Chain A
Amino acid sequence: MAIERILKDDASEEKGERARTASFVGAIAITDLVKTTLGPKGMDKILQSTGRGQEVTVTNDGATILKSLHIDNPAAKVLIDISKVQDDEVGDGTTSVVVLAGELLREAEKLVAAKIHPMTIISGYRIAAECARNALLQRVVDNKENAEKFKSDLMKIAKTTLSSKILSQDKEHFAQLAVDAVMRLKGSTNLEAIQIIKKPGGSLKDSFLDEGFILDKKIGLGQPKRIENAKILVANTAMDTDKVKIYGARVRVDSMSKVAEIEGAEKEKMREKVQKIIAHGINCFVNRQLIYNFPEELFADAGVLAIEHADFDGIERLALVTGGEIASTFDNPESVKLGHCKLIEEIMIGEDKLIHFSGVEMGQACTIVLRGASHHMLDEAERSLHDALCVLSQTVNDTRVVLGGGWPEMVMAKAVDELARQTPGKKSHAIEAFSRSLVAIPTIIADNAGLDSADLVAQLRAEHHKEGCNAGIDVISGSVGDMAELGISESFKVKQAVLLSATEAAEMILRVDEIITCAPRKREDRM
């Protein structure tokens, strides 16, 4: 009697060794895919979307690459997930976290082949991760007290982050931009206040930080192009046909003249509304929704600058920047808070006209205008800058800083190695493997830069045997250098997140001994 099938058609089940191999292979394949983008000399990837237009993205941001992949392997999905979380939580290190998790699994595969139970490997990894974290904690530098030094720390971090991206040519310039922008935030992590506008044309060097606020909109026809000491009312209200919202109301008339009457009443209503708005004593009105020609004309007559259809983010940011509130009713002008700014003018960037608000009340917000040769370039520049901003804003909150260039990995590896020697039992193999995985990261950085990784890493290890050493890989000169002198730093928070999430993900994949895949849901045939 044959065993009946238990699962539904097309569902598959993989057990034991095969399941483990499947997840290892998947995870390692993903790692190998993003591995080459790691480090300052990492290469970019072209991603072509399958959607309409076959859009092309050029990037070396780990999270962006992984997000765009269509993956079927469940273990690979776990890795993609941690990369996404890393992006959300700290913004940078998205490649590192995947590479580290992949290396951990690669080492684990060898251990499993050597007949060590996955559970033993997991407990070894846990101990090792804790130890690595403590080792790193002992070596962090915290310049919270010294504002001057802290600023230079931020500068270094920004440069390190940017050096692996397309912006590396002008990293000085962009690091300065990013640091300035984040310093304006004064400790909040609300990156909303930093607006990035992309305008093709010019070169990357022409990008600049604007202290005011730039709205990518045009000024209505016949309205003033330049207003000094502007009073701004930010609103979210219908300025097309202000319809009656009571449910079921409709217009039903029986003669042409009545239509005209009602039309007149409607117009009158709109005129009243505009009058009310103007009665606030404003000279600039920004609305989230459309403004029809009629009210626009009224505004123009009153000499009020009206800007229509600013998107939601734009409105919120403008309200934040100018210190006004977003209004939807206009009956009591005395209690509505108006926004203020010194000067509103229309400016030209490239060929586009933009509206520039300068001299705004709140110093937090600012706008970064990116210029570049092509859309791909700009998109990538925006991602890179976003990474840098995220890292910086997180660093402002958690001011602990470590050196970069493979230095933290070597410090951790050394401590973990030490621990492996003191641990009795099979766990020590796993702990040793953990240290090997850590060393893999500087190795990959060196490899990507076309350097002799074996030689460099060996040198590095020897250097690190001394107490208090600052040695890391100097990719530019291709040798081991003093990271403190070279000014290569990273945020402790990023490194810690990389370490912990990579270990967690590796652990999760290691624990699996069976994969059950359900039959893919049948798509409805639309033909």
Chain B
Amino acid sequence: MALAFDEYGRPFIILKEQDQKTRLRGIDAQKANISAGKAVARILRTSLGPKGMDKILQSPDGDVTITNDGATILEQMDVDNQIAKLMVELSRSQDYEIGDGTTGVVVMAGALLEQAERLLERGIHPIRIAEGYEMASRIAVEHLEHISQKFDFGTTNIEPLVQTCMTTLSSKIVNRCKRHLAEISVKAVLSVADLERKDVNLDMIKVEGKVGGKLEDTELIYGITVDKDMSHPQMPKQIEDAKIAILTCPFEPPKPKTKHKVDIDTVEKFQTLRLQEQKYFDDMVQKCKDVGATLVICQWGFDDEANHLLMHRNLPAVRWVGGVELELIAIATGGRIVPRFQELTPEKLGRAGLVREKSFGTTKDKMLYIEHCANSRAVTIFIRGGNKMMIEETKRSIHDALCVARNLIRNNSIVYGGGSAEISCSIAVEAGADKYPGVEQYAIRAFADALDSVPMALAENSGLQPIETLSAVKSQQIKENNPHYGIDCNDAGTNDMQQQDVFETLIGKQQQILLATQVVKMILKIDDVISPSDY
């Protein structure tokens, strides 16, 4: 720890409890940070691409997650190092923004850090490296724009969308039936998409899973499923042309929020209260019945008596439905959520063609399907699978696929996958480097090298000779001036990604490069790490 002394030789105390803190500065701090970032990237590197491997993550409570989704791995890894946390953030922001390519962005950042380390050793100032990276990323992003292609799809021609989703799904464990799942995802997105505004509200797509059955049984339901059953076992299990009252008030005696006490001191009061209570239940059910509802969905519980009255008046009801589900039901059926019985009117009822209860397996598992809704925009993807981890992983994969489809609807530019875009960018950046005078030129070249690391990792994971394959593809791209050549991970026999139908979205790729560069810049600018030492 460096200390400052005054003219009499007494040390200044600058930091509180200075001797208990560890401090790293200058080049040491940068190197430590870089090595931490690299360590995180190394963990994810093997998960990249269609032949990437999975990781088992055991949580503090002993639950097991098996996944190869970069964001999920990092999220659950229980990271302690500050720089490693930055990398976790990086992957998360890619997940929020784009939803896919979470592994790729971390691998890219790791490669950039690795290159930066070499430059630092040569004595180049970190800020200069950061600036060089910035320029290079601009070149790369522009180049991506240049090589991207527009592609057409419509509600009738969904094939291109399905292909893109398949590329995303092929790196997951579900690639056995990727075609099926990709079609489901695309149909789901299209049914909620607003093609004119080019916007997709992914909240309208609910992904539900239930253990059991096979992956192939996964289905798209044009409606909503609720993991609940009818409040009374003897209510009808199937309702056609249902008119649904969506309530957020309990079928219970009122509980005024202000503090109050009702004192009973005479027999008469006791009697009146009793009658009032009975009438109260009766009124509630009557109101629902009066507006013509044939199904009541309620966020709260029912009193036993109310429950029986509902059953008695032949009004099926569902209780304890979660807030999010309630909202979805309201959107799907075109109903309004009613907070008070007094406000029930026939216009506020939702409509659905069919509501049915379905049971699964040998245990008493029941789900409620609400189908043929008035507003068919809300859909549910219902996943079946052999075990809980499989379902969880499928959910994550579907999420990725949904995001990709949404991105394409927002912006229908694509670049080709299989590392071809990175290779092409690398070539462009390399060529652009010579135009820049000064030290930045080195940083730009380093950036080009870092871009190569993604296809390199792809080749490695696919069991190919990484250096050999990469150089072959690179020279092929330059020779034929065709940016569509990439790594042939699936052993399909051709390098041309256009023929293999491997696409990725343009914004996804651009975002990857920009985010990775940003984080690396941030890490490079740190030259002092002060942390409390372990006590």
Contact = CB atoms under 8 A, between A and B. Distances in A.
B31 interface: yes
**Residue in B253, B359, B385 whose Cβ sees the most chain A Cβ within 10 Å:** B253
A265 B361 CA distance: 51
B364 A192 contact: yes
Interface string B225-263: 000000011100000000000000000111110011111
A248 B261 contact: yes
A512 B56 contact: yes
Interface string B397-411: 000000000000000
B277 interface: yes
Interface string A230-269: 0000001110000011111111111000100110111001
A191 interface: yes
B277 A505 contact: no
Contacts of B43: 13, 514, 516
B478 interface: no
B28 A1 contact: yes
Nearest to A254: B265
A329 B263 contact: no
A189 interface: yes
A118 B307 CA distance: 56
Contacts of B361: 88-90
Interface string B48-67: 00010111111111101010
B152 interface: no
Contact of B253 (A23, A246, A390): A246
B173 interface: yes
A248 B267 contact: no
B387 A1 contact: no
B154 interface: no
Interface stretch (B33-41, B139-147, B344-352, B520-528): B33-41
Contacts, number: 238
Contact of B58 (A5, A88, A249, A516): A516
B496 to A, nearest CB: 22
A250 B312 contact: no
B81 interface: yes
B387 A78 contact: yes
Interface stretch (A361-369, A438-446, A517-525): A517-525
A6 B64 contact: no
B77 interface: yes
Contacts of A11: 77-78
Contacts of A78: 64, 66, 387, 389
Contacts of B54: 508, 511-513
Interface in B164-207: 173, 176
Contacts of B76: 516, 518
Interface in B16-45: 28, 31-32, 35-36, 39-40, 43
B58 A251 contact: no
B262 A516 contact: no
Contacts of A126: 176
A302 B255 CA distance: 38
A74 interface: yes
Given A245-B253, A246-B273, A265-B271, A6 B68 contact: no
Interface in A68-89: 72, 74-75, 77-78, 81-82, 84-85, 87-89
A508 B35 contact: no
Contact of A500 (B214, B262, B365, B389): B214
B501 interface: no
B150 interface: no
Nearest to B87: A6
Tell me whether chain B's interface is mostly helix, strand or loop, or mixed: mixed
A512 B308 contact: no
B234 A326 contact: yes
A508 B308 contact: no
A302 B31 CA distance: 91
Contacts of B323: none
B79 A246 contact: no
Interface size classification for chain B: 35 or more
Contacts of A6: 36, 39-40, 79-81, 84
A316 interface: yes
A87 B362 CA distance: 8
Interface residues of A, number: 87
A507 B176 CA distance: 11
A1 B32 contact: yes
A258 B266 contact: yes
A265 B35 contact: no
A258 B265 CA distance: 7
B78 to A, nearest CB: 4
A476 interface: no
B386 A504 contact: yes
A512 B55 contact: yes
A89 B213 contact: yes
B354 interface: no
Contact of B386 (A3, A119, A245, A505): A505
Contacts of A142: none
A448 interface: no
Contacts of A258: 265-266
B362 A390 contact: yes
B465 interface: no
B390 interface: yes
Contact of A81 (B51, B60, B307, B387): B387
Given A245-B303, A248-B261, A191 B211 contact: no
B305 interface: yes
A244 B40 contact: no
Interface string A1-12: 101111111010
B308 A500 contact: no
B71 to A, nearest CB: 15
Interface string A34-46: 0000000000000
Nearest to A503: B386
B471 interface: no
Given A88-B212, A246-B276, A247-B253, A119 B51 contact: yes
Contact of B362 (A189, A249, A262, A504): A189
Contacts of B274: 244, 269
A19 interface: yes
B463 interface: yes
A434 B362 CA distance: 29
A138 interface: no
Given A11-B78, A78-B66, A393-B362, A507 B173 contact: yes
B362 A516 contact: no
Interface string B371-389: 0000000000000011111
Contacts of B153: none
B46 interface: yes
B363 interface: yes
B304 interface: yes
B264 to A, nearest CB: 5
A328 interface: yes
A126 B175 CA distance: 11
A4 B32 CA distance: 7
25 contacts: A6-B36, A6-B80, A11-B78, A78-B64, A89-B213, A126-B176, A190-B359, A246-B262, A247-B256, A248-B260, A252-B263, A320-B233, A325-B312, A326-B232, A329-B308, A332-B312, A336-B312, A508-B66, A512-B53, A512-B56, A513-B46, A513-B53, A516-B76, A518-B76, A521-B61
Given A4-B36, A81-B388, 19 more contacts: A4-B35, A4-B81, A6-B84, A74-B56, A85-B388, A88-B361, A89-B211, A117-B463, A189-B359, A246-B262, A251-B264, A316-B233, A327-B308, A329-B278, A508-B173, A508-B389, A512-B66, A516-B76, A521-B61
Interface of A: 1, 3-9, 11, 13, 19, 23, 72, 74-75, 77-78, 81-82, 84-85, 87-91, 117-119, 126, 189-192, 236-238, 244-254, 258, 261-262, 264-266, 269, 316, 319-320, 325-329, 331-332, 335-336, 390, 393-394, 500-501, 504-505, 507-508, 511-521
5 interchain residue pairs of minimum CB distance: A328-B308, A513-B53, A521-B60, A504-B386, A511-B54
